[in-house]
Structure 1
Amino acid sequence: MKRIFIVLCILFGLVISGCQPKMNLFPDGTDPLLEQYIQGEGPYKVLVISVDGTISDSPKRGLLGYAPSLVQEVTSRLQLAAEDDRVKALVIRVDSPGGSVTASDVLYNEIERFKQKTGAKVVVSMMDVAASGGYYISLPADWIMAHPTSLTGSVGVIFIRPKVAGLMDKIGVSVEISKSGRNKDMGSPFKPDTAEQEQIIDTIISNYADRFQALVKKHRKISEKNLEKIFTAQVFSADGAKKVGLIDGIGYLPDAVSKACELAGIPEDSLVITYRREFYPDDTLYNTVTARTEPLALVNIDAGNLLPPKAGFHFLWFPAVQ
């Protein structure tokens, strides 16, 4: 509160003095993406983008506005890169426990389309967590590299929905529902599911799991014995993931950049770029912030980080959700 008061006093002083500086206290992600140089030189480019946090196609909601969704942030960068024929390789820095089934599938498809359209090589660099949907979006990569301390895997589906029927009984509150079919209220938080509804939900989960598993088989050469272990939806350390065939190598982000250059057939010291909305002096590969003004907003509350994921089907390792 003290910091907010000081900032407001400064702003008030500037206003009454007639000074009107250009300031972006409440950024909403509408500023255009700009190419930022990180390292290297030469005619060829390696683009580094980040997938951080829960994968969603919903805008990030704050107290005073909205910021672009993770899907929007990533796809806008892929679109910009696809228009630059100097971009020969893409490194995707993944630090995500996954997210909704649809949002994860959208990013998977967009990365696959980017590869087909540009012919660029794609390398994934996994950080803390690249599990479930975080692994799902990594599958199109030509090479998957995990940090030595990464967690990945969790190849499976989870259906999340609150249940408050018992609590409502205790406090004497009920909800009346009128419906046109017996399964119209399937998954309702206000009542237990029937045996038929549980079977329907299990079938949907199986359908999504089958798709996830089919893509793992498509993109990875893994023995049936290891697939059986992977499809229990457990998570693996980097060493464990390499042993079962989920990843190709273990290394750091600079190693992933070097591998991308090698696969693309370009010099190892090629130009490494990223897309941000503002310039950062002494920028590095590990900077994931898109606009320097975002942390300076007087109030920047994303209530989604304080609540469980919204009800629905998710490619998500739930314990790692922030």
Structure 2
Amino acid sequence: MSMTSNAADYLFDRRRLRRKLLFWRTAGFLLLTLIIVGFALMATSSRSAGTFVPHIARIRISGLITGDEKTLKLIRDVGASSASGVIVDIDSPGGTTVGSERVYDALRAVAEKKPMVAEIRTLGASGAYIAALGADHIVAYGNSLVGSIGVLFEFPNVSKLLDTVGVSVEKIKSSPLKAEPDGFTPTSDAARAAINALVADSYAWFKGLVQQRRGMSDEELAAVDDGRVFTGRQSLPLKLIDQIGTEKDSIAWLESKGVAKNLPVRDWKPDSDRVFGLLGMATALAETLDARTLTQVLKGLAAADAAHSSEGLQAIWLGAPE
């Protein structure tokens, strides 16, 4: 009877321990998730209200520039924040003409309120150079590729292939230039002329923007507006950039414009990237919890919380290196 009683007590204690472990694991997961989501929401609300402590904001412009709303909102949020100055970190071959124009306009709106410097890393070509023009000072490395002032309109034409396989595309149009070029028939002279007019108009706008923002004469503009890219060293005497340097030089320029010395540089990212990244981290942490480490983790989170509370047409360069 004694052995049976001891075995029953042992099983009962085991079940009770399992229930406790399950409870603490569940509580730990929920608490971690709530705290980390809270951090994300506080960061989001702080950014929107502009209540960050003074700092230098870094905005990254990379990949294909489309002028998407997420990027534009990020730029607007920086403008409404307590950032004292802005570094626009550029590494892009360009993008759509309209997208690049939208990014330029958004950056200019912020630059009217805060000192802004563009820093070109590997590549700042075509539409990316349009974005760089939004800043009042452009810094590049000696081997950065800069420029590619021009506009591109390209489309596939498979009319010869269709002739080879014996396929034709019939169409009825309200006027000769409707939906031209379509890629299924040889492009007419009139269609080419219409497309050329579009390209010429956007190209004239691009050149005018470069000339205005970089203070170039007609002769100086003509030396750089043929679509080529230039190294940073070549770009400096051509007036495409203001300085060969690094982020240290970008910060020094901002400080020369009244930004306080030794401010931290903070990367600004879209809100959705921050929230989902933090949620992923919460899940990973919760999966490793056990009863012995839970208390230590919660203490660490409490300390972290305390620390936190204190604080169309394309303007694109197609020769981008891999």
* Fold-level similarity (TM above 0.5): yes
* 1:185 alignment partner, SS class: coil
Provide the C-alpha distance between the structure 2 equivalents of 1:289 and 1:237, rounded to a whole number of angstroms: 35
Residue of 196, 200, 220 corresponding to 2:194: 200
Distance 2:142 2:276 in 1: 29
In the alignment, structure 1 residue 270 sits paired with structure 2 residue 239: no
Distance in 2 between residues matched to 1:219 and 1:105, nearest whole Å: 14
Runs ≥4 residues deviating over 4 A = 17-24, 288-296
Decide whether the 8 Å contact of 2:55 with 2:265 is kept in 1. Answer: yes
* TM-score, normalised with respect to structure 2: 0.70
- 8 Å contact 2:95–2:316 — kept in the other structure? yes
Give 1:321 deviation, angstroms.
8.3
The residue that corresponds to 2:171 in the other structure is 177
- Indicate whether 1:236 and 2:230 are aligned: yes
Distance 1:106 1:277, change over 3 A: closer
Counting aligned pairs with the same residue, the percent is 24
Does 2:80 align with 1:83?
yes
- Name the aligned partner's letter for residue 317 of structure 1: W
TM-superposed CA distance for 1:52, in Å, is 0.6
Partner secondary structure for residue 90 of structure 1 = strand
Q: Equivalents in 1 of 2:230, 2:274: separation in Å? A: 28
Partner in structure 2 of residue 282 of structure 1: none
* 1:149/1:33 CA distance change after superposition, 3 Å: farther
Match of 2:108 in 1: 112
Residue pair 2:87, 2:116 contacting (<8 A) in 1 also: yes
The question of 1:74 aligning with 2:71 is answered: yes
Structure 1: unaligned runs, 5 residues or longer: 1-16, 25-30, 37-41, 58-70, 279-287, 297-311
Give deviations 1:145-185, integer Å, cap 9, x for gaps.
Answer: 01222101011100021111111222222222111111013
Could you tell me whether the CA contact under 8 Å between 1:97 and 1:321 is conserved in 2?
no
Unaligned runs of 5+ in 2: 1-21, 34-39, 47-51, 282-311
SS where residue 247 of structure 1 aligns?
coil
Which protein has the bigger helix share?
2
Q: CA deviation at 1:292?
A: 4.4
The TM-score normalised by the length of structure 1 is 0.70
Q: Tell me if 1:122 matches 2:119.
A: no
Could you tell me how far 1:77 is from its partner in structure 2? Answer: 1.7
Instruction: Identify if the C-alpha distance between structure 1 residues 83 and 133 changes in structure 2 by more than 3 Å, giving closer, same or farther.
Output: same
Residue 219 in 1 paired to residue 216 in 2?
Answer: no
1:256 aligns with 2:245: no
2:180 to 178, 186, 189: 186
Cα pair 1:96 1:134 within 8 Å, conserved = yes
- Higher strand proportion (structure 1 or 2): 1
Cα distance in structure 2, aligned partners of 1:313 and 1:83: 31
Shift of 1:294: 11
Kindly state the Cα deviation for residue 225 of structure 1 after the two structures are TM-superposed: 2.7
Q: Tell me, yes or no, if the aligned pair for 2:61 and 2:91 is still in contact at 8 Å.
A: yes
Q: Aligned equivalents of 1:32 and 1:104: distance in 2?
A: 30
Aligned length: 254
RMSD over aligned Cα atoms: 3.1
Give 1:290 shift: 9.4
The yes-or-no answer on 1:156 pairing with 2:146 is: no
Q: CA deviation at 1:82?
A: 2.2
